[in-house]
């Protein structure tokens, strides 16, 4: 007999429902920290809305009995074409948030990318043993610190290094300003009043809150106080980053090196000349440059520029299995998800993230079945409806 499904799982029947449950569970400043975007949140909205403009053209008469969702990325198998993207301060959403998401990825047979800004240091997260595990870094004014993080990641067995290029100046996140949320977290009077209504989160996090910090930035014999570390991080990011820095990392890192934050097709093409192994088409989930296009809208141009020489991944607004199928049809090899991971963590920790991946898995499988697609590798542009080829 199978165990009855917990109530939260029944209520979390899709990703939007997970978001609603997370909203109910989290203090508003924390929910908004994850949920919000920059300025008017145009790009944030476009990321999701642009998928609605793309339609699927099914061929049910080639319907397979079973679907194979697996893909291989940089020589590693994934059980579905989704990885957990890097999100800072996951440990604010559930105790040992980063450990939870790493273990959940492993259980689901996929991988994760750890944020530079994890609460738990990268070495400790690596102990989950999940592979593939990728480490995300920035270019710092102190280039030695970028090097140090890369060297630590190599030593801890991370498979790939992800250089995020779209965060060298912090985006203007106005929800955080309105809520008085800052790094380090500070809650104004309304924030504290709101928190009182989130008793479960407060109780669960009572031992964690005083220790929330940026684990990778703590140095021996130095205070782990988050304000010291946040100050160092902010002042260290260097807007004057260039291809020379990419070359330097390329010399240092022998495994797959991936650029995250690519939108311009020309920059994608240039990356090939610098020995990059993969690209993530991303606008940081609309948290950085408001007014940037939806990632799914620029994907075809990036795919065309790269001509199949390296795998292209995408993130931003992927909330449905059908979004994943559309991205693959437009040439992505796999997708990453950001906010859904934090919503799932906030709802049920590790079990929440396993459940979230299961939602995507079931939705992708159903969409593939309805479309008559047997294998993820077989998904191509002919699965999409083109208005221009419609007669009359
Ligand atoms: C709360 C939060 C923190 C994030 N932190 C990082 C980070 O540390 N490094 C990074 O490269 N991207 C970071 N991102 C961006 C995600 O990796 C990803 O690009 C984005 O969330 C994808 O869009 P989605 O949230 O619509 O899935 C963060 C996103 C959120 C929501």
Tell me which residue has tokens 């995250």. Answer: 260
User: 169 alpha carbon to ligand 1 midpoint, in Å?
Assistant: 15
Tell me which residue has tokens 């609605």. Answer: 52
Counting atoms of ligand 1 from 1, which one is nearest the CA of 35?
31
pTM of this structure: 0.95
**Domains along the sequence of the chain with CATH:** 7-371 (3.20.20.70)
Cβ-contact 81, 337 below 8 angstroms:
no
DSSP 8-state secondary structure symbol assigned to residue 140: B
User: 98 alpha carbon to ligand 1 midpoint, in Å?
Assistant: 14
Per-residue tokens: 148? 């140090």
CA max distance for the chain: 73
Alpha-carbon span 262 to 281, nearest angstrom: 5
C-alpha gyration radius of the chain: 20
Q: What is the pLDDT along the chain (392 residues), one digit of tens a residue?
A: 678 889 999 999 999 999 999 999 999 999 999 999 999 999 999 999 999 999 999 999 988 899 999 999 999 999 999 999 999 999 999 999 999 999 999 999 999 999 999 999 999 999 999 999 999 999 999 999 999 999 999 999 999 999 999 999 989 999 998 988 865 566 556 666 666 678 899 899 988 888 888 999 887 667 666 666 666 676 789 999 999 999 999 999 999 999 999 999 999 999 999 999 999 999 999 999 999 999 999 999 999 999 999 999 999 999 999 999 999 999 999 999 999 999 999 999 999 999 999 999 999 999 999 999 999 999 999 999 987 755 54
- Tell me whether strands 76-78 and 133-137 are parallel, antiparallel or unpaired: unpaired
> Is 173 a pocket residue for ligand 1 (Cβ < 6 Å)?
no
User: 298 alpha carbon to ligand 1 midpoint, in Å?
Assistant: 18
Q: Is 274 a catalytic residue?
A: no
Helices 42-52 and 321-329 pack at an angle, to 10 degrees, of: 80
> Is 47 a pocket residue for ligand 1 (Cβ < 6 Å)?
yes
Helices 321-329 and 339-371 pack at an angle, to 10 degrees, of: 70
């Amino acid at each position: 007999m199978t165990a009855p499904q917990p109530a939260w799982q029944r209520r979390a029947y899709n990703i939007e429902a997970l978001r609603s449950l997370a909203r109910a569970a989290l203090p508003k400043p924390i929910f908004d920290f994850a949920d919000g975007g920059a300025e008017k949140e145009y790009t944030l909205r476009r990321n999701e809305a642009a998928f609605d403009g793309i339609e699927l053209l099914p061929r049910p008469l080639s319907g397979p009995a079973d679907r194979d969702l697996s893909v291989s990325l940089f020589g590693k198998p994934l059980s579905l074409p989704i990885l957990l993207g890097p999100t800072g301060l996951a440990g604010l959403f559930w105790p040992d948030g980063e450990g939870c998401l790493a273990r959940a990825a492993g259980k689901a047979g996929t991988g994760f990318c750890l944020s530079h800004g994890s609460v738990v240091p990268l070495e400790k997260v690596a102990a989950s043993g999940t592979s593939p595990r990728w480490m995300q870094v920035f270019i710092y004014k102190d280039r030695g610190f970028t090097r140090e993080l890369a060297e630590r990641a190599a030593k801890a067995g991370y498979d790939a290094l992800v250089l995020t290029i779209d965060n060298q100046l912090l985006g203007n996140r106005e929800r955080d300003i309105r809520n008085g949320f800052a790094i380090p977290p500070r809650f104004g009077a309304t924030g504290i009043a709101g928190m009182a209504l989130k008793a479960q989160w407060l109780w669960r996090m009572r031992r964690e809150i005083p220790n929330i910090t940026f684990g990778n930035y703590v140095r021996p014999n130095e205070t782990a106080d988050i304000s010291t570390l946040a100050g160092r991080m902010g002042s260290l990011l260097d807007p004057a980053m260039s291809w020379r820095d990419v070359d330097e990392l390329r010399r240092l890192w022998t495994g797959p090196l991936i650029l995250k934050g690519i939108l311009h097709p020309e920059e994608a093409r240039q990356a090939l000349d610098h020995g990059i192994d993969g690209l993530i088409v991303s606008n940081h989930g609309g948290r950085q440059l408001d007014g940037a296009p939806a990632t799914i809208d620029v994907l075809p141009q990036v795919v065309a520029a790269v001509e199949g020489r390296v795998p292209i991944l995408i993130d931003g607004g992927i909330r449905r299995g059908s979004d994943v199928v559309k991205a693959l049809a437009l040439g992505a090899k796999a997708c990453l998800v950001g906010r859904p991971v934090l919503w799932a963590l906030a709802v049920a920790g590790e079990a929440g993230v396993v459940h979230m991946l299961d939602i995507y898995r079931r939705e992708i499988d159903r969409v593939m079945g309805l479309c008559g697609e047997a294998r993820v590798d077989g998904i191509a542009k002919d699965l999409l409806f083109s208005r221009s080829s419609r007669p009359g």
